[in-house]
Amino acid sequence: MSSELTNQCIDALCHCGCEVVRATITALESGTVVPQVQELSEPERLQVLNELKAIMAVYDRESDGFGMDD
C-alpha cells in the first residue's frame, strides 16, 4: 500500500533529521496527528510510522556498534 504521497512524506521527514523523525514517531504512537501526515489516511499514517521506525532501527543498530560493517 505504498503511495507516492506516503513516500514523499517519509522522505521529507527524513530530510529533517533524526530528532524530528523520533519526535514524529513518538507523536504518531500516541495518536497525535502531526502536520506532516494530516493529509494521509489512517492506514497511510500507520505505514509512515512503521517505515520511520524501521529506518531509525537501522540508525540505532549502527550507533550501537552493530552496523553492517561489523
pLDDT tens by residue, 4-44: 999 999 999 999 999 999 999 999 999 999 999 999 999 99
Q: Position of cell 497525535?
A: 32
What is the per-residue pLDDT for 66? Answer: 54
The three grid cell numbers given for residue 53, joined into one nine-digit string: 521506525
Q: Which among 31, 39, 34 is positioned nearest to 3, based on CA atoms? A: 39
- Burial class of residue 6 (count of CB atoms within 10 Å of its CB; 0-12, 13-18, 19+): buried
Q: Distance between CA 61 and CA 52 in Å, rounded?
A: 14
Q: Considering the entire predicted model, what is its pTM? A: 0.82
Assess whether pLDDT exceeds 50 at residue 68: no
Q: Distance between CA 12 and CA 7 in Å, rounded?
A: 9
